[in-house]
Structure 1
Amino acid sequence: MRILFVGILVILFSLSGQGQKRDIVYNASLSGFVSTQKTLPFWAVSNRHGLMPNGNGTLLELGLYSDFTNKHKIQFAYGISAGGYLSRPGNKIILDQLFASARWRNLRLDLGMIHPEEQYNGVSSTNGDFVRSGNSRTFPGYNLRSEFIKVPLTKGIIAFRFNWADYMMIDDSYMKDIRLHNKSLYVKIKPHHRLEIIAGLEHWAQWAGKHPTLGKQPGSFSDYSRIIFAEGGGAGSTVSDSINALGNHLGREHLRINYLADNYILSFYHDIPFEDGSGTDFRSFPDGTYCFYYGSKNPEQWISDVIYEFYYTKYQSGSQHDRPATPDEIAKQDPNSHFYGRKVLGGCDNYFNNGEYANGWTLYGQVIGSPFMTPGLSGNLIRIINNRVIAHHIGIKGMAWKTTPYKLMLSYSKNYGTYKDKFNKDQFSGALEVTLPFHNLPFSVETGIYGDLGKLFKDNFGFTVKLSRKGKLLK
């Protein structure tokens, strides 16, 4: 990790020392936040890249970014941002982003720590991605990705894009030095200039690391190949990893349909999460995210963006992973199999949880995926304590009187815990964020009102004020 950071810093200094002109964008903000409880309301802390502390206090954010230059075949960009807060949970300085990027034609390589790109203009509750939403802090590594590349001889009707990435999870979790592998492949079919159909598969895997009782987990190159193909573990792996697949595998199957009008876009997307084979072969139906979105190309409309997202993760391929086998089923089984005498049903997917990687799909105590999947203490461990959810989310964005940008977020959920630890708790959470039209000031003034009402979180009301300034420095 030290080598990676040093390498990025060397790249940043070398790029900043080049004679070519580039726009350098800076931003700085100071926020204050207060609530009626010791913690902040749900939408005051969710989807903020892990920078917002969950308590009353102040937050200072600073960032410096360059754009891609267009004078060379290989273009470069870089960025660095950090935040520091004073809050009841404690005081902390956080390195948020530190990255260098290179772009050549349709390919891009990111090195370091970088936010996922914003989708649906910020009104989605998961940034359009059930598995990685932008709710948690970034992790360092590399990501080789592409834009859509047209397939030859298809007259531009068929295109594909991909990514291949590896990261490190550097938080103080139950297991140390966890590695993270990610890859995806998406295909776009465009039968008409106004219609796009995009389908794809995205795979994530936690692997290697040091377990407090089981010791160092397999982390060789041959083990990496097992991670790539989701194969069972070899020598040194746990019983669970040798039976199933080495590491903790999860991901999503994604479908998106876009209608591209001259002045707006209409979009539908469907995310199907998976933790094992029962998710990839649709046995988990109807689990997933279902979304409808309208986005205008005119940001000065009263309503420029509207999204409705429906979440259902209650089924999880059923309540049983396996059951006693019948005599006929036993007769067809291998006596040496670990599941001899049992019939594997593939249920109880237990989204974002895992046995060996006991903190599950969390980073610094925050869920990496959808914020509706609730982390919390289970014994002495932070785990996902609520992943069986039915939720509705509405996000609206626009500009009132062509002078006052705003964003409204309204969410209602029924929360059932997990199959192991069940409960039944309703929850409503809302947010209204407004940028005040003080155009004569040298900075913008953003205010936010947030509220929680229900049984999952304590009834809570919060208020934030943010002073921010953005600008360009021409080198």
Structure 2
Amino acid sequence: MNLTLFFSIFFEVHAQNYAIELNSNISSKETLPFFLTSNKFGAIPNSDNIILNTAIFSDFKNNNNTFNIAYKASISGFIADKNEVLINELYTSIATKNLQLDLGSKNEEILFEGLSVSNGNIINSINTRAFPGINLKTRSYLTLPIAKNWLKVKANYAEYFLNDKRAVENAHLHYKSLYLKSKLSTKLNLITGLDHYVVWGGTSEEFGKQPTGFNNYLKYITGQGDGINTDESINSSNAWGNHVGNYLIQLDYAGEKTNWSFYVSHPFEDRSGREFSNYPDALYGFFIDLKKPKSFITHFITEFQYTKHQGKNTSENGLIDNYFNNTVYSSGWTYFGRTIGSPFFTTKTPINGITYGIAENRFTSINVGFKGYLSETIQYKTNVTYTKYPGWFNTPLNKSLFSPYLEVFISNSSIPFEITVGTTGDFGDFLPTNFGGFLKLTKTGIF
């Protein structure tokens, strides 16, 4: 088979989908309101802007195939305080019946109809760009041979590059997860899971080159430390690298009239967190699908986030967790200047283009959201969020942020494109009072 025939067959089987999106964001201040930039995959600059996004993609065609390919290339160019072109997603996914290999930068799947302000996970939201790298995972939950129908498992193993400007250049990011789904009844499932991330390697501007090599890599991914400070790495006195983890407990109910999920996402960075000594710090959420298509309210969510404990009074050697910050990897749990976890962990002001970690990581936050239809062709989504920042233990802050958000989506066969319009604002004393909105026009199709 020659190459011309091969590509003809490939593109015939994998029809090209395209999306063209014109987006404009505007506000009453020099910067945009909180929710115009948060949870947007790091793709919205923090000033008035006009953005053109183009994407070409193809999804998996037949999940029953033994071999399947999907891909996407999405690029944005924007006019703002600083004009820029950035790659949103660029990946190829190769799948068999049970396994999938993602190569490149691929955004996280949006959960809970986009109503969760942290995408159901306190340490990994949709607040930043996708990491470039390689990720091997199960395509869904797989039944264990010894468990028949009552226990299923899914897992992943990934290695990424942190290619932004940061305190430790050329750092790597390791990620693995293990989730179990237990069938409690015909309608009720229990999901228990573990996410584990490690920032490792690279060259620190202060501490020099960090260890690499296979033996050191094993220490990073298993959280080992030898208890001895050496010139080679300050990390040797503790677990090597910057560890960030999450326990997830979730109950899923599938009924005749409603589906609902109750979930708890608990963060940990060291032994005290792994042993729940930082309880009650976590994201607590309840999501319900009313199973009423085209009704005024189709979905509802309520969430509560609490991070004030931080292992105080129970931590070893009197140390407090200080979430998402690290001595050696001082850019912390950030990527391209944005928090990787819940967006309410606010980042420090960059110095020479480098973000040095998290400024405010103690807060309580309440989110309530709805989604539904105003008419046959008009959908809406709204969230109301209140966040309180008490400050650090010895430096009180006591400031708050109230952020309402409304988005309306219009799709009509008589209009050649889809229209999305939204408005939001910041109120309280944590951020300056600010009003803003956006208009987005989207055209999708196949060629």
Deviation >6 Å, runs of 4+ = 14-17
Shift of 1:191: 2.4
Q: Which amino acid aligns with 2:361?
A: N
Report the CA distance between 1:349 and its aligned residue: 0.6
Task: For 2:403 and 2:7, locate their aligned partners in 1 and report how far apart those are by CA, in whole Å.
Answer: 44
Q: Which residue of 2 aligns with 1:115?
A: 107
Q: CA deviation at 1:72?
A: 3.8
Show the counterpart of 1:144. Answer: 136
| Deviation at residue 309 of structure 1 after TM alignment | 0.5
> Which range moved further: 280-289 or 23-32?
23-32
Structure 1 residue 23, shift from structure 2 partner: 3.6
| Within-5 A mapping of 1:175-186 | 175-186=168-179
Alignment of 1:262-273 (within 5 A): 262-273=256-267
| Partner secondary structure for residue 398 of structure 1 | strand
In structure 2, the residue corresponding to 1:227 is in which secondary structure? helix
SS at match of 2:439: strand
Distance 2:350 2:51 in 1: 29
Offset, 1:253: 0.5
Contact 1:350 1:419 in 2 (8 A): no
1:34 aligned residue = 26
Match of 1:21 among 3, 13, 19: 13
Matched, 1:161 2:171: no
Q: Residue in 2 aligned with 1:409? A: 383
Q: Structure 2 length normalisation: TM-score?
A: 0.93
Aligned-pair CA distance for 1:399: 1.0
Return 5+ residue gaps in structure 2 as ranges: 1-5
How many angstroms apart in 2 are the aligned matches of 1:420 and 1:237?
Answer: 34
Give the aligned residue type for 2:379. Answer: P
Correspondent of 2:308 among 283, 294, 314: 314
Partner SS, residue 446 of structure 1: strand
**What are the superposed Cα offsets for residues 357-406 of structure 1, whole Å, 9 maximum, x if unpaired?**
11100111100110011112287753211110110011211111232111
Taking the aligned partners of 1:379 and 1:67, their CA distance within structure 2 comes to 40
Using the TM superposition, give the Cα deviation of residue 472 of structure 1 relative to its aligned residue in structure 2, in angstroms: 2.7
Counterpart-to-counterpart distance in 2, 1:36 and 1:302: 31
CA contact (8 A) 1:99 1:113 kept: yes
Q: TM-score normalised to the size of structure 1?
A: 0.88
Per-residue deviation, residues 185-205 of structure 1 (Å, max 9, x unmatched) = 111100212111000111000
CA deviation profile, 1:172-196 (whole Å, cap 9, x unmatched): 1111101000001111100212111
Q: How does 1:349-360 map to 2 (within 5 A)?
A: 349-360=321-332
Aligned-partner residue type, residue 466 of structure 1: K
State the 1:356 CA deviation: 0.7
Give the 3 Å change call, closer, same or farther, for CA 469–15 of structure 1 in structure 2: same
What runs of 5+ residues in structure 1 fail to find an aligned partner? 1-13, 323-343
CA separation of 1:180 and 1:67: change in aligned 2, threshold 3 A: same
Paired residue total? 437
Closer, same or farther: CA 454–249 of 1 in aligned 2, 3 Å: same
Equivalent position SS for 1:282:
coil
Secondary structure in structure 2 of the residue aligned to 1:369: coil
Deviation at 1:34, TM superposition (A): 1.0
Aligned partner of 1:372 in structure 2 is: 344
| Aligned match of 2:3 | none
Cα deviation, 1:217-268, whole Å, max 9, x if unaligned, reads 11111111011210016865433x1121100001100000000113531100
Name the counterpart of 2:368.
394
- Pick aligned residue for 1:257 from 227, 246, 251: 251
Looking at structure 2, the residues matched to 108 and 20 of structure 1 have their Cα atoms a distance apart, in angstroms, of 22
Closer/same/farther in 2, CA of residues 16 and 103 from structure 1, 3 Å limit? farther
Q: 1:286 to 1:85 in 2, by over 3 A?
A: same
SS in 2 for 1:225: helix
**Which of the numbers 160, 163, 170 marks the counterpart of 2:163?**
170
Aligned to 1:340: none
Aligned position for 2:416: 442
Deviations 1:124-164 (A, max 9, x none): 00111111101001110011111111112423101111010
Residue in 2 aligned with 1:289?
283
Find the counterpart in structure 2 of residue 188 from structure 1: 181
Deviation of the 1:299 alpha carbon = 4.1
Q: Quote the Cα distance in structure 2 between the aligned partners of 1:454 and 1:33.
A: 22
Matches of 1:15 and 1:196 in 2, distance apart? 44
Q: Secondary structure of the residue that 2:218 maps to in structure 1?
A: helix
Partner of 1:426: 400
Q: Which amino acid aligns with 2:101?
A: L
CA contact (8 A) 2:18 2:56 kept: yes
Counterpart secondary structure, 1:116: coil
**8 Å Cα contact 2:307/2:363 also seen in 1:** yes
Partner of 1:18, secondary structure, is helix
Question: Is the 1:250–1:275 Cα contact (8 Å) retained in structure 2?
Answer: yes
Residues 1:16 and 1:217: Cα distance change in structure 2 (over 3 Å): farther
Alignment check: 8 A CA contact 2:29 2:434 kept: yes
1:414 deviates by: 0.5
SS across alignment from 2:104: strand
Distance 1:16 1:405, change over 3 A: farther
Q: Is residue 405–residue 434 contact of structure 1 (8 Å, CA) maintained in 2?
A: yes
SS in structure 2 at match of 1:228: helix
Identify if the C-alpha distance between structure 1 residues 19 and 170 changes in structure 2 by more than 3 Å, giving closer, same or farther: closer
The verdict on how the C-alpha distance between 1:436 and 1:149 changes in structure 2, with shifts beyond 3 A counting, is: closer
CA deviation after TM superposition for structure 1 residue 105, in Å = 1.5
Question: Residue 43 of structure 2 corresponds to which residue in structure 1?
Answer: 51
Within 1, Cα distance between the matches of 2:220 and 2:169?
Answer: 18
Structure 1: which amino acid aligns with 2:381?
K
Q: Which residue of 1 aligns with 2:89?
A: 97
Residue type at the aligned position of 1:289: L
The reply on whether 1:238 has 2:226 as its aligned counterpart is no
SS of equivalent residue, structure 1 residue 224: helix
| Paired AA for residue 289 in structure 2 | G
Query: How many Å apart are 1:419 and its aligned residue?
Result: 4.0
Paired residue secondary structure (1:278):
helix
